[in-house]
Structure 1
Amino acid sequence: MQLKKISLALATAGVWWLGSGLASAEEVQLAETQVEDIEQQKKVKARLEEIKAEEKAAARAANGYYVERRSYGTQKESEPPRYVKQLNKTWLKDYDALADIDWLDMGFEYRARFEHRDNDFRRNAQNIDEPLLLRTRAYVGLKNVLDPFRFAIEVQDSRRNHGDYDRAYDTRDVNQADFLQAYLELYYKESIFGKDDLGNHRPFWVRAGRHAWEAGDRRLIARNEWRNTTNTFQGVRANIGEKKNDWQLEFHAVQPVQRFTKRLDEVDHSQNFYGVIGNWRRWSQFVTIEPSYFLLKQDGDRVEYDSNGLPAALNTQINREIHTGGLRVYGVIPGTQFDYDASYIKQWGHQDQKNAAGRVTAELDHDAYAYNAEIGYNFKHPWKPRFSAFYGVASGDKNPTDGKNQRFERLFGFARPWSNDDYIQMENIRTPKIRLEFEPKLSWLENVKVDTGFSWYRLDSATDRWNAGANLRDTTGNSGRDLGKEFDLRVRFPLNQYASLNLGYAYFWGGDFVKDTSRRVAGQADRDTDSEFLYTELTLLAF
C-alpha cells in the first residue's frame, strides 16, 4: 500500500510538471489506473512463477529424480514390456469379478511387417526380396498378492513367410514358439536400503530364470525390438532402487540363450556374462551419470553352434575373456532447449586365434573402444520438432597379423539406431548423423510421429570387415573406408487404442568399399551399388 502511495505521488508530480503545474481530475485518475495496472501485472507474473514452481514440484513428486533421455532410439523397453497392462486397467475391468484385480499383469501382441528390399547388402547376391515377418507375444505376471514372491512368463513365436531365402537356419527372423522370460522373483518395496531424500522407497528385487531386458542406451544389452527375434538369457538378475530414486544399481550373472528356428532354444553353456550398471540421478536436473562394467567369458571347448544354430566352425571355438567398462552422461542443459547424450566405452582382455583346422596359432590381446555423442535442440512449436546431430565410433581391427584384436565386441546390443537398413553394427564404424523428429498436428489423424535422418558411414579400419554387409572384408585395405550414405524416413501413428501402423523407407548409396568388395563375390561383378528398403508394419494389442 505504501508503494502505491509513493508511485501515485510520483506519477501525479510528473503530470503536474508536464501540465505546466495544473493537473485535472482525469489525469490523476489515469495515473492511478496505470499504477494499479503495473501492480496487477506484477501479481500475475508472481502467480505464474508460483504455478511453474508448483508444476515442477508435482513433476518431481511423480517422477522422483528421473529425467528421461531425449536422444534418438535409446529409450529402453519397460519392465514389464509396454504391451502389458494391469488387468483392472484393461477392458476386462468391466466384468465385476475382475474389476479389483490389481495383482495380475497380462499382455498379448501381434506384429506383421511386410518388407521390400531391393539389393539387400546383408545378402551375398543382388535380388528383390519381399518377406512377411510375423511375431506373436504373450505375457502373464503375478505381483503384490503374494509379495515378496512374484513370477512372470513371456512367450514369443517368430516366423518369416514369402522370402527368397532359406528359413531353416536364420534366427534373425525365425524362432518358433519359445520362452522369452520365465522367472521367479523376490521383491521388497521397503528394503534395507531405505529412502532417498524425496521420500521414495528404494526397492530391492532378485530374479532367477530366463530374462529378456534392456540396459543403458541399448547398444550393449537389448531385447532387439525391431528384429523379428529377441535376445534372451538365463541366470540371475538383481536390482537396488528404481528410476525414481537418486541412485540405482543393476546386477546380472547370466548365460545367453542359443536360438534355433524350429526346436526349443538352449542355454549356451560356453559363455558367461556378468555385469553391473549404476545410475546416479542426484544431479539429474543437469546430468544423469551411468557407469557400467561387463565381463564376457567364453570356453572354446564348449562352443557348439553359431548364431544361426548351425555347427560352429572350428576357428570360432576359441577361449575369450572380454572386459567392458563404460561411462555415459545425459540430460538437459538448464534454461535452454538443448539436450545431450554421450558415452565412452573401453574394452580389454584376451582371446585365442585359431586356423581353419581349429589349431591355436596365437593368443591375441583385446584392446578396443567405442564412443558416441548426440546433441539435440527442441523447438518451441506445437509440432514439438527436435533437431539432433550425432557422431559415433566403434573401433575395428587395424592389422590382422599384429597379435592384437582392436575390433569392438558389441556384446548383446541392437543395431537399429546405427542404420535403418540394418547395414551397420557397433563394430568397425565411424558415422556422423543428422536427424529431425516432429509430431505434426493433423485434423484427420492424431498422435502422428515422424522422424527422418541422413547418415554418412566409414569403416574405422580399412582392413577389417563390414560385418552386417555379408561379412565383406579387404585385408589389404585397398578398397578404402567409404561405406556409403543413407537417407531414412519413418511415420508412426495409432489406428485406435489397440492397433498402430509404422511406415518406413531407407535408401543407401554404396561407397567405394561396397562397390569393390560386393562385386568380388562370384557372379556379382555387375552388382548395383545402391539399395532401397521399404516396410509397412502393423501392431495389434489385446489389451
Structure 2
Amino acid sequence: MRLRYEVIDGQPRVGFNRRDDLVNLRTNILAEYRWTHWRAAVELYDSRVWAEDAGTPVTTNEVNALEPVQAYVAADFDSAFGKGSKLTLTAGRMMLNLGSRRLVAADDYRNTTNSYTGLRADISARGGWKATLIYMLPQVRLPDDNASLRDARVQLDRESFDLVLWGGQISRAKAIGPATVEISYFHLGERDAPGRPTRDRSLDTFGGRIIAEPRAGKFDVEVEALYQTGSMNASTAANAPSQQVAASFLHADAGYTFAIPWKPRLSIEYDRASGDRPGGKFGRFDTLFGMRRAELAPAGLYNAIGRTNLSTPGIRIEATPSKRLDWFAGYRAMWAAAAEDSFSTTGVRDASRLSGSFAGYQLEARVRYWLIAERLRFEFDGLLLAKGRMLRDAPNAQPGRWTRYGSFNLTAAF
C-alpha cells in the first residue's frame, strides 16, 4: 500500500488549479503459483484519490478502482533454441517494462499503471543474445468520465483490436566492449471505437540503444535514438484529414560512479523530443506507453514534463549511503524543440513564437528511507521550476514565475 500526499503551487499546466493538493492511495495484491517450469499470477490494483475539487487534474492516471492489471500464465523452456538457450512464453493480461522503458513501461510513480493483454516471448541464447517479442492489446482504463473517476466507480478496463501494440527488441551484451547494443521496433495501431473517437494513430517506431551500465570506479554511457513514422488524423473529428508523421527522440548521458561506500554517481544528460512545426509532416514525438519519472519529472499533480517537444540538458547526482537510504538531485534547463508547438505536456502554446522557446529551469530531488527494513519506506519528492519566457508570456500561460511541487509517500509491504 502506498499513501501519498502531494501539493503544488504555481501549476504550469493549462486548465487546472494554480494551487492544489491531493491524497492518493494505491493498494496492490499479487498472488502467484509456481509448479516446475509453469507459473500463474493475478495482481489487483486499487487506485483512488481524495481532497480534489473541480479544478484538480484527476484522470485515469490517478484513479482505477479494483482492477486486475495482471492475470497471466507463463512457462519456461530450456534449450528451446539449442544448448544454453531459454524461451519464456507469457499469455494473458500483464504489465510490461521493456528496454529503457521510454516506449513501453508500467509507470510506478503514477498512482495507476499500464496493463496489456496478449502474448509475450522472451528468448535468451549463448553469446549474450536476448530478444523480447510482443503482441498486445493495451488496456483502456475505465471509467474515464469525470463523475465516475471522482466517485472511484468500479468498471473493468477494456481491451480490443481497436488499439494494438506489437513489435519487440533484440540485444547483445558486451557487443562493444562492456556495452550492450539493442535495436527495437514497435507498431501502434489505433482506430475509432463506439463512443470513443481517436486520431487513428498508425505509428512505427524504430530504435537503437547503446548502454554501459554504471560500475564503481568506472565511466558509464547510454545513447538511445528513436525515429517515428506513419500517419494520424489531425483531430478526433470523423472527417479530420490524415497527416504523415516524422518525429524523433534522442537521449544521451554519461556518468562516473565513485568507488567509495556511498557509491555516488555524477552524470550529465541530454534529451530531445521533436515537436510539430507548420507545413509538411506531423512532428510531435509520441512516447506511446513510456515512463517519465525515472528521467524527467514526477507525474501526479505536476506531470508537466514528458517526452515530447522538449530539448533539455541536465546534470544529476545520486547516491546510496546505506541499504536503507538513497537519494538523487537533478538540475536541467528546458526549451521547446518547436517554439510554435505546445511545450511538452503543459498545454502552453504561442503559435506566433513571440514568447520564444525557453521554458525554464527545473531543480528536483528525491529521498527514500526504509523506516522498517523491507516493510515500511518513506519517500519525499520535491521540485522547483523557474519558468522561462514561454511558460510566463504565452497567451494561455498560467500566472506566476515559479512552480513548487512536493510529495510525501509512505509505502508498506506485507
TM-score (ref. length: structure 2): 0.90
Q: Are the aligned partners of 2:17 and 2:56 in contact in 1 as well (CA < 8 Å)?
A: no
Change (3 A) 1:272 1:475: same
1:325 aligns with 206
Alignment of 1:36-55 (within 5 A): none
**Given the alignment, which residue of 291, 294, 311 partners 1:430?**
311
Change (3 A) 1:231 1:357: closer
1:253 aligns with 135
1:179 aligns with 68
1:493 aligns with 369
Deviation at 1:457, TM superposition (A): 0.8
Is residue 278 of structure 1 aligned with residue 170 of structure 2? yes
Alignment of 1:348-497 (within 5 A): 348-354=229-235, 358-360=238-240, 362-399=241-278, 402-416=279-293, 417-420=295-298, 421-440=302-321, 447-469=324-346, 471-497=347-373
2:339 partner SS: coil
Change (3 A) 1:506 1:185: same
Amino acid in the other structure paired with 2:94: H
2:393 partner SS: helix
CA distance in 1, matches of 2:327, 2:413: 22
Amino acid in the other structure paired with 2:48: R
Is residue 510 of structure 1 aligned with residue 391 of structure 2? no
Deviation at 1:467, TM superposition (A): 4.5
Higher helix share: 1
Change (3 A) 1:403 1:270: farther
CA distance in 2, matches of 1:166, 1:472: 17
1:225 aligns with 108
Deviation at 1:439, TM superposition (A): 2.6
Is residue 136 of structure 1 aligned with residue 27 of structure 2? yes
2:41 aligns with 152
Q: Are the aligned partners of 1:363 and 1:403 in contact in 2 as well (CA < 8 Å)?
A: no
Q: Are the aligned partners of 1:220 and 1:411 in contact in 2 as well (CA < 8 Å)?
A: yes
Give the length in aligned residue pairs: 399
1:514 partner SS: helix
CA distance in 2, matches of 1:382, 1:131: 37
Amino acid in the other structure paired with 1:342: V
Amino acid in the other structure paired with 2:19: I
Deviation at 1:541, TM superposition (A): 0.5
Cα shift readout 1:271-302 (whole Å, capped 9, x = no counterpart): 11111111201447521011100011122x32
2:360 partner SS: strand
Bigger relative CO (Cα 8 Å, ≥ 6 apart): 2
Deviation at 1:236, TM superposition (A): 1.1
Change (3 A) 1:536 1:322: same
CA distance in 2, matches of 1:334, 1:268: 43
CA distance in 2, matches of 1:154, 1:173: 18
Q: Are the aligned partners of 1:398 and 1:463 in contact in 2 as well (CA < 8 Å)?
A: yes
CA distance in 2, matches of 1:327, 1:165: 43
2:146 aligns with none
Cα shift readout 1:384-441 (whole Å, capped 9, x = no counterpart): 1110000010111111xx1410111111001211124432111110000101112336
Change (3 A) 1:255 1:333: closer
Q: Are the aligned partners of 2:17 and 2:55 in contact in 1 as well (CA < 8 Å)?
A: no
Amino acid in the other structure paired with 1:396: G
**Given the alignment, which residue of 532, 535, 542 partners 2:404?**
532
**Given the alignment, which residue of 278, 284, 289 partners 2:181?**
289
2:13 aligns with 122
1:465 partner SS: coil
Deviation at 1:537, TM superposition (A): 0.6
Is residue 342 of structure 1 aligned with residue 214 of structure 2? no
Amino acid in the other structure paired with 1:251: L
Amino acid in the other structure paired with 1:278: I
Amino acid in the other structure paired with 1:152: A
Higher strand share: 2
Amino acid in the other structure paired with 1:247: W
1:288 partner SS: strand
Change (3 A) 1:484 1:302: same
Q: Are the aligned partners of 2:216 and 2:259 in contact in 1 as well (CA < 8 Å)?
A: no
CA distance in 2, matches of 1:334, 1:152: 34
Change (3 A) 1:454 1:169: closer
Amino acid in the other structure paired with 1:530: W
1:24 aligns with none
**Given the alignment, which residue of 123, 127, 130 partners 1:240?**
123
Change (3 A) 1:167 1:122: closer
Q: Are the aligned partners of 2:215 and 2:257 in contact in 1 as well (CA < 8 Å)?
A: no
Deviation at 1:357, TM superposition (A): 5.0
Amino acid in the other structure paired with 1:451: F
CA distance in 1, matches of 2:261, 2:75: 45
- CA RMSD, 1 decimal: 2.3
CA distance in 2, matches of 1:538, 1:119: 25
**Given the alignment, which residue of 77, 88, 92 partners 1:209?**
92
1:191 aligns with 79
Deviation at 1:487, TM superposition (A): 0.7
CA distance in 2, matches of 1:529, 1:164: 24
Deviation at 1:123, TM superposition (A): 4.9
Identity of aligned residues (%): 29
Q: List gaps (5 residues or longer) in structure 2.
A: 143-148
Change (3 A) 1:265 1:386: same
Amino acid in the other structure paired with 1:427: T
Deviation at 1:496, TM superposition (A): 1.4
CA distance in 2, matches of 1:321, 1:347: 10
Structure number, greater radius of gyration:
1
Deviation at 1:128, TM superposition (A): 2.4
Change (3 A) 1:475 1:539: same
TM-score (ref. length: structure 1): 0.69
Change (3 A) 1:303 1:528: farther
Amino acid in the other structure paired with 1:407: R
